[in-house]
A and B are shown apart, each in its own frame.
Chain A
Amino acid sequence: MAALERVWALGRGLGTTFGYLFKPRTTVDYPEKERPVAERFRGLHILDRHDDGLEKCVGCELCQAACPAHCITVEAAENAPDAPTSPGERYAWRYEIDLLRCIFCGFCEEACPTGAIQLTPRHDLIGFRRSEFEVDKRWLTVPDPRRATAAGPAASGGAGERAPGGPIAG
């Protein structure tokens, strides 16, 4: 009797599994296919530029102060008046995020007075070494539109390129 009950239970369980063969799929073939994310999804960061190619970041360190995970490091320097990196007097010569510590809260984006640091829908955080997740300006900064038209995005060392010390970009 007991044996029969067990076979019945097994059959019922397999039946559930079997039943899914005829239902619509909920998974996608990632990474070949991607599911759209919510409009305000908070994924990997970029450092944006102005239309004239200057970096939006002025190195104010407010994002570093706002970050609850303490994973941002900003160090500022003075712009060369004849070849500025950003508008105004100050720019970030060093900007690093430890993406393994980041909790993608978006506080940095909220704190930023210039809209420089932005969280994008990208979420492909892949790498083989810890150091690959400590990204710096080369990885974060979007391509310079002035240089991108001249020599293509690869030459500008912008986001999307697999810069040394950055995870694989999707």
Chain B
Amino acid sequence: MSSNPPAQSPAGARPAVDGPRPAAPAVSPPPPATVTCTIDGKPYTFPRGTLIVNAVRQVGHPIPYYCYHQKLAPVGACRVCMVSVLGAPLTRPGMGPIVTTGCTTPVFEGLEIETMSEAAKLARKQVLQFLLINHPLDCPVCDKGGECDLQDFTLGYGPGVSEFAERKILRRKADDLGPFLVLDQERCILCQRCVRYENEVTGEQNLVLKERGDRTVIDTGRGEPYSGYFSGNNTELCPVGALTSRTYRFKARPWDVRPVATVCQGCAVGCNATVNLRGDRIVRLLLRDNPQTDGGWLCDRGRYGFGHTTAPARLDRPLIKRNGELVAASWEDAVSAAAAGLRQGAAVLGGGRLTDEEALLLSQLVRVGLKTNDVDWRVGYQTFAAPEAVGMQGAQIGDIDGADLVLLCDTSLLEEAPVVEIRLRRSAGRNTSVIDLGPVRNFRHGPSRRIACAPEDLPARIAALTPDFQAAKSPLIVWDGRGGEALAEAIRGLGARVLVPAEFNNARGAEIAGLVPDALPGYHRLDEAAVFSKAWGAAVPSATGRHTQAILAATGGDVQALYLVGANPLRTFPDGALAAAALDRVGFLVVQDLFLTEAAHRADVVLPALGPLEKEGHVTNMSGVRQAVRRIVSGPSGAKADGEIFRLLAAALGATLADVPAEVASEPVRLRLPAGSASTPPGEGLRLIVRPALFAGGGTAAHDPNFDPVRGGTVVRLHPEDAAELQLAEGDAVHLQSGGTALRAVVSKDGGVARGYAVLAAHVAGVQGLGPRVRVAPARAEVTVG
């Protein structure tokens, strides 16, 4: 990967300026928007402010550069972009051309640039010689070899031999900075791209310059491990092999990989990426800029979350429960067993991880195959996916850039839509004011107004923000859909656009496809069942179905069979006790998933499905952008794409799946939201709240071997004073007790947690089984003698 983005279209032609000239203003006229200068003897016109380095690249002349990067502010650190320039004010009349850095000098009227003058060539040659004084020249073992700017520019502009015979300074090599990042200080050319990225883009300042002069090195601040969700972008910014990826280490060379465009399905942002394949194995993911979604960055979960494609734990054959044991079975047997069991009183949960097309197939399968509307994708905390579906105005991810007021309503963009948080950090540093509302501080890398409050107080606190919202020109609300109708009503009252990070990557696609109990595909009313019946050639039930809570409560009663599609309510459903009881009670359980989850262990039939990188289709991101995904790897040979499984099941149930009717003339339905609890849970102990954590759970991340180093144990976050009262120190093992259940966890002190709360990561085994209040006891007290 060359870290230098390709030059834009040639700018030789001046952009047409239409319309009459505006009337002469009273003040002095603004300078013209374009300037004309010559590059290697030919005149070109550029927008004012264009840097020489970009101007030269745009006209297709070569120019080396290391520290300059289009996504970062220019700094002029490496001095390799030298060109000869002539023209006032850089040179005085009568003076000859001077050599200067192209990345810090904008073009101006009458400037003459020479890229290949003898003086410029000599300057570059000497700079390159200096850059290599202490470089180890270990290209054969370096991961960057073959796509390294230091190799390329030294070959193109550098000297053949070095005049330096002194001993090189030795530094740290092959140093694991964090779980994903490897640093080789000897190869670093101190261009500071990484340092500037950590300053300007993430604001986390994980990487800094240390020492002075020829001892200067890149390191983490105090030598601690790199901690952050955006480390991988450094490996693409670094023009040399100083910062490389742990997962890609020595896996391939740029000439033996095949690039394929893809869309990350790690969360609902839908960042664009390029997969690199060596043979049929994914070796790495690279940036593929899309200003609409990712804004040119990936998070580490997206970049490194491909290990599940080859994980040994992947299911690769259907399983049927015989005498209490899950045993391998053929697809025919498994499908007919599943169909037989689902024929009577079945309900379906899940679907937030399917493609749009598959979700639609499942929606049909439920209606015409299982003859019910008991279907719900919402198997976690999120109560809706599309703001429009609950009477709010939706926002685009890019709207964050122009918003002057952003309300984070008990929602962490960092954990739920990481790359969007980067946008918010950048605009929070400029002219966006951020209000961080809820029991936990969610916005920690930028200025914000923090309002701590209990979850049930959110509606009142939001209503109190009305004046701020009335004063704001383009306000925005970020809410992950946790809570209920009361909160939704308060948010509607503010009248701002709403951005909803989703708990499941294609929640929005599932909702549009009608995987909800109160709407047909396209948010059509159940009254339109007749239209759909005609299009699908089978009767579509028109009675409103039940939502997840009601379905789980009715298992063992008239819900006799349950079909979990990529869902594991035991880990995701807030009322874990209900989910566990429901799965125990239900007469027949079919689980369709990639891994043998806790729910799959209890299943009567397990159907192995293909993962997100293993099938074709479209996915809809959190702001409704539909993007195509392709089959990049084949996945386990015994697994099938979800859509294919739905077709097999439909055939076994005697139904056929057809296309959706194009025209249905009804107003879209507004989804019902649960009421949400309005009172503080009674009882003793700390109040337990469960909040998403990037690497903790999720469909594939929970089982991805690439994330083993970051998953760690269960961590409970406490306010430092609460921890002090309980006499707990950082890292202490504790038992969280609630009712009859207990969970072992490790204490982490966090000043961002309001007092009286204990915060656990969502989608982690055992967490959902705890009640609303927990008693925190040191684990050593549990050790009884005898």
Chain A residues, CB < 8 A from B251: 75-76
In the bound complex, CA of A62 to CA of B141 (Å): 11
Partner of A114, one of B140, B145, B253, B255: B140
In the bound complex, CA of A60 to CA of B251 (Å): 10
Q: A64-B256, A65-B255 are in contact. Are A88 and B250 (CB under 8 A)?
A: no
* A77 with B138: CB separation less than 8 A: no
Q: A65-B255, A89-B173 are in contact. Are A77 and B250 (CB under 8 A)?
A: yes
Q: A77-B250, A78-B249 are in contact. Are A60 and B256 (CB under 8 A)?
A: no
Chain B residues, CB < 8 A from A90: 140-141, 250
Q: Output the residue of B140, B249, B253, B255 with the most chain A CB within 10 A.
A: B140
In the bound complex, CA of A76 to CA of B145 (Å): 13
In the bound complex, CA of A65 to CA of B249 (Å): 18
Question: Which residues of chain B from 246 to 269 have any CB-CB distance to chain A below 8 Å in the complex?
Answer: 249-251, 253, 255-256
Chain B residues, CB < 8 A from A110: none
Q: How many A-B residue pairs have CB under 8 A?
A: 35
Question: Which residues of chain A from 66 to 81 have any CB-CB distance to chain B below 8 Å in the complex?
Answer: 75-78
Question: Which residues of chain B from 590 to 610 have any CB-CB distance to chain A below 8 Å in the complex?
Answer: none
Chain B residues, CB < 8 A from A65: 146, 253, 255
CB of B510 to closest CB in A, whole Å: 40
* B253 with A58: CB separation less than 8 A: no
Chain A residues, CB < 8 A from B249: 78
In the bound complex, CA of A60 to CA of B241 (Å): 14
Chain A residues, CB < 8 A from B250: 59, 76-78, 89-90
* A89 with B174: CB separation less than 8 A: yes
**Residue A164 at the B interface, CB < 8 A?**
no
Chain A residues, CB < 8 A from B141: 58-60, 88-90
**Residue A61 at the B interface, CB < 8 A?**
yes
Chain B residues, CB < 8 A from A113: 139-140
* A62 with B174: CB separation less than 8 A: no
In the bound complex, CA of A77 to CA of B249 (Å): 8
Q: Interface code A73-116, partner B: CB below 8 Å = 1, 0 otherwise? A: 00111100000000011100000000000000000000001100
Q: Output the residue of B141, B253, B256 with the most chain A CB within 10 A.
A: B141
Question: Which residues of chain B from 128 to 145 have any CB-CB distance to chain A below 8 Å in the complex?
Answer: 138-141, 145
Closest residue on chain B to residue A114 by CB atoms: B140
* B174 with A60: CB separation less than 8 A: no
Partner of B140, one of A58, A75, A78: A58
Q: A76-B250, A89-B173 are in contact. Are A62 and B140 (CB under 8 A)?
A: yes
CB of B172 to closest CB in A, whole Å: 12
Partner of B138, one of A62, A75, A88: A88
* A60 with B173: CB separation less than 8 A: no
Q: A76-B250, A78-B249, A89-B173 are in contact. Are A60 and B140 (CB under 8 A)?
A: yes
Chain A residues, CB < 8 A from B174: 78, 89
* A61 with B256: CB separation less than 8 A: yes
Closest residue on chain B to residue A112 by CB atoms: B140
Q: A89-B141, A113-B140 are in contact. Are A61 and B253 (CB under 8 A)?
A: yes
In the bound complex, CA of A59 to CA of B253 (Å): 10
Chain A residues, CB < 8 A from B138: 88
CB of A55 to closest CB in B, whole Å: 13
Chain A residues, CB < 8 A from B145: 60
Chain A residues, CB < 8 A from B255: 65
Q: Interface code B159-197, partner A: CB below 8 Å = 1, 0 otherwise? A: 000000000000001100000000000000000000000
CB of B475 to closest CB in A, whole Å: 51
Q: Interface code A33-61, partner B: CB below 8 Å = 1, 0 otherwise? A: 00000000000000000000000001111
In the bound complex, CA of A75 to CA of B140 (Å): 13
In the bound complex, CA of A162 to CA of B255 (Å): 33
CB of A117 to closest CB in B, whole Å: 12
Q: Output the residue of A58, A62, A64, A90 with the most chain B CB within 10 A.
A: A90
In the bound complex, CA of A31 to CA of B253 (Å): 42
In the bound complex, CA of A114 to CA of B140 (Å): 9
In the bound complex, CA of A76 to CA of B141 (Å): 9
In the bound complex, CA of A90 to CA of B145 (Å): 13
Chain A residues, CB < 8 A from B253: 61, 64-65
Closest residue on chain B to residue A93 by CB atoms: B250
Question: Which residues of chain B from 19 to 55 have any CB-CB distance to chain A below 8 Å in the complex?
Answer: none
Closest residue on chain A to residue B249 by CB atoms: A78
In the bound complex, CA of A113 to CA of B255 (Å): 18
Chain B residues, CB < 8 A from A62: 140
Chain A residues, CB < 8 A from B173: 89
CB of A47 to closest CB in B, whole Å: 15
CB of B773 to closest CB in A, whole Å: 48
Closest residue on chain A to residue B246 by CB atoms: A78
Pairs A–B under 8 Å by Cβ, sample size 18: A58-B141, A59-B250, A60-B139, A60-B140, A61-B253, A62-B140, A64-B253, A65-B146, A65-B253, A65-B255, A75-B251, A76-B250, A76-B251, A88-B138, A88-B141, A90-B140, A113-B139, A114-B140
**Additional pairs, 8, CB under 8 Å, beyond known A77-B250, A89-B174:** A61-B253, A75-B251, A89-B141, A89-B173, A90-B140, A113-B139, A113-B140, A114-B140
Chain A residues with CB under 8 Å of chain B are: 58-62, 64-65, 75-78, 88-90, 113-114
A-B pairs, top 6 by smallest CB distance, nearest first, are A60-B140, A76-B250, A90-B141, A113-B140, A61-B253, A88-B141
